[in-house]
Amino acid sequence: MKTPNMKTDNVVIFSTGASQYFAELIAQRLGIPITETHRKTFGGGEKYYRLDIDNRGSLVNKIAIIVGSTHTDEDFDEIRRVGRTLAYNGTLRRIFVIPFFGYSTMEREKKPGEVVTAKDCACGLSGIPNAGLGNVFLMMDLHEAGLVHYFEGDCIRRELYAEQVLTPAVFKLHLPSFVMATTDLGRSDWVETYARKLKAGDMAFVRKARDYETTKVLCVIGDVFGKILVPYDDMIRSGSTFFKAIHAYLEKGASRFYPCLSHLAFNDESVIQEIENDSTIAHVIGTNTHYMSQHPLVKQSKKIEVIDVSPIFVDAIQQLIAA
């Protein structure tokens, strides 16, 4: 079904393989089909791509939407390569829908010689030719808010927020008095925002030390004894930070947990199984930005609730292409 007041006759949509599920949701709301991308791998490992168009003039003056999370080098490279091809083939504007912006953890140099990968990735996307009306990058709940400023040139870059769908989902749980909590101090501002909008009784924080992917809980700040906690974090990957925070709160007497997560970016199914096996975790709310949100174990789970954020991206697209 087309979104009202949206002109889509001049719009085409492409997707990486891993984000096809998300592109289908957007395409359905726009009322347009996804144009297929043919992919092959040569014997030496070189990647081949071809956009399924009739002739070299098929994309002239079209608005192209490219859907893909940058969670792997392969996906990042495909987005960049397809984006350049779309610019070279005369598209009027390119709208990059990046539900999950990967490689965002290394956003600054801490040790001499470290590569600031988040900046490098943003620069790589910024290097896509800005022909016509230019490039637009739409992202959601970034690991660091300043990442939008890592993009260079006169492209448009916007961070969208899942809070508008996550807070109603928490309200629907009809929890009694609860404490809004962090899994580390890095999300304290977000937790305060959620606490205010959810009218939480109080807030609690975990202070940690981190070395690469190894974390150590230093202390718990706040009274959680006998309390229900709603921990918020922007993403869960290995689950190390997440579960250490849960255990730290348990040691201080917390009773049950209803985590709220922007990105269900599980490294593998063992993280899902650990959530399922933890009796103190009553319910988990997350979004469908990452392809692991579509894992069969997640779909079968009665504990993990996945919220669709594609309407938020469609609203942003509508602002860009509305008649």
Instruction: Please report the sign of the dihedral spanned by the C-alpha atoms of residue 64, residue 62, residue 132, residue 39.
Output: positive
How does pLDDT run across 58-106, given as a tens digit for each residue? 999 999 999 999 999 999 999 999 999 999 999 999 999 999 998 888 8
pLDDT recorded at residue 111 = 87
How does pLDDT run across 168-192, given as a tens digit for each residue? 999 999 998 899 998 877 778 888 8
90 sits in the region (left: phi over 0; alpha: psi -120 to 50; else beta) called left
pTM score of the predicted model: 0.92
pLDDT recorded at residue 19 = 97
**Cα R_g (the chain), whole angstroms:** 21
Residue 1 pLDDT level (bands cut at 50, 70, 90): very low
Task: Enumerate domains of the chain plus CATH numbers.
Answer: 11-161+310-321 (3.40.50.2020), 163-288 (3.40.50.2020)
